[in-house]
Structure 1
Amino acid sequence: MTKYWIGVASADHVELGVAGGFSQLCHGKEAPLKQMKPGDWLVYYSPKQTLGGDEKRQCFTAIGRVKGAEVYPFAMSETFVPYRKDIDFFPDAKAIPLHDISTLDAWQKYRSSLRYGHFEIDKAFFLVLAEKMGLPMKYES
């Protein structure tokens, strides 16, 4: 059964993941990635432009489908080895400002979950996000 997820990361980190075809969540933790199975969907929300920066972004910035089951470590430096999972991102996704959906009842149910960095959403809310981000119907199956 397909599940739908939101991941929270700065826009610059999301851009790296989209370019590399991977997801890295919650500062590189393995557990959130293990929850996602092949065929699941992931939508990224970016509260800020850069990690630790002050510039707000407050947009849903990327959308993609989990490609494989493998969660793997990736050495970014000698002291930082986060976990990643391969994602097939939709390259033409449009960023959606949070204010465009903030009045929806569905969002009200999820907004307090942003602090967790990764959480499941229902299909109906995912479809609202997917449509606004310009995801073609062929991707929704």
Structure 2
Amino acid sequence: MARFFIGVAEHDYVQAAVAEGVCLFAGGQRAPVESLEKGDNVAYFSPHLSHGGTALNCFTAMGKVTSETPEEKSDWPDHPKFKSWVRRCSYRPSAPIALGDIEDDLSDQTRAALDTAISEISGTDFSVLAKAMTPQ
């Protein structure tokens, strides 16, 4: 049965992952992506636009894991020496949504997860995010 996760990453890292069709967490560590399974759902929360940059505090992407196993990736266009562990991921069209716009609709568990690189959340909270992020 598919599970639901929130990953926390700066927006520019999320954009790179979406462009490459992968998901990664905790700076590309292997353990977080090993815990995922094909069919799991992932949403990203971006506290900033870039590392040390302007505050953003938005949910910025949603996708579904499409690969059976993690793989090591070292061919990032903007960071050719960066090695990371990733899973293939199919991203759906989505519009960023500010945390403040939906915070009251999310559980305490999900709000607390926004301080952690990756956390499993409820399907109910993931549905709240999916509805809020659906482009109009």
Same fold (TM over 0.5): yes
C-alpha distance in structure 2 between counterparts of 1:98 and 1:129, whole Å:
10
The equivalent residue for 1:41 is 41
- Match of 1:119, SS state, is strand
Q: Give the gaps of 5 or more residues in structure 2.
A: none
C-alpha distance in structure 2 between counterparts of 1:126 and 1:96, whole Å:
13
The equivalent residue for 2:85 is 83
CA deviation digits over 1:40-94, x for unaligned, max 9? 10000000000232x011000000000012211112544x42111110001x201
The equivalent residue for 1:17 is 17
Q: Give the gaps of 5 or more residues in structure 1.
A: 136-141
- Match of 2:111, SS state, is helix
Identity %: 31
The equivalent residue for 2:3 is 3
- Match of 2:56, SS state, is strand
Q: Once the 2 structures are TM-superposed, how far is the Cα of residue 115 of structure 1 from its aligned partner?
A: 2.3
The equivalent residue for 2:111 is 111
C-alpha distance in structure 2 between counterparts of 1:84 and 1:52, whole Å:
23
Letter in 2 for 1:134: T
Matches within 5 A, 1:50-65: 50-53=50-53, 55-65=54-64
Runs of 4+ in 1 over 3 A off after TM superposition: none
Letter in 2 for 1:86: R
TM-score by length of 2: 0.90
The equivalent residue for 2:95 is 94
How many aligned positions are there? 131
C-alpha distance in structure 2 between counterparts of 1:33 and 1:52, whole Å:
25
C-alpha distance in structure 2 between counterparts of 1:29 and 1:111, whole Å:
23
The equivalent residue for 2:70 is 71
C-alpha distance in structure 1 between counterparts of 2:15 and 2:27, whole Å:
15
- Match of 2:51, SS state, is coil
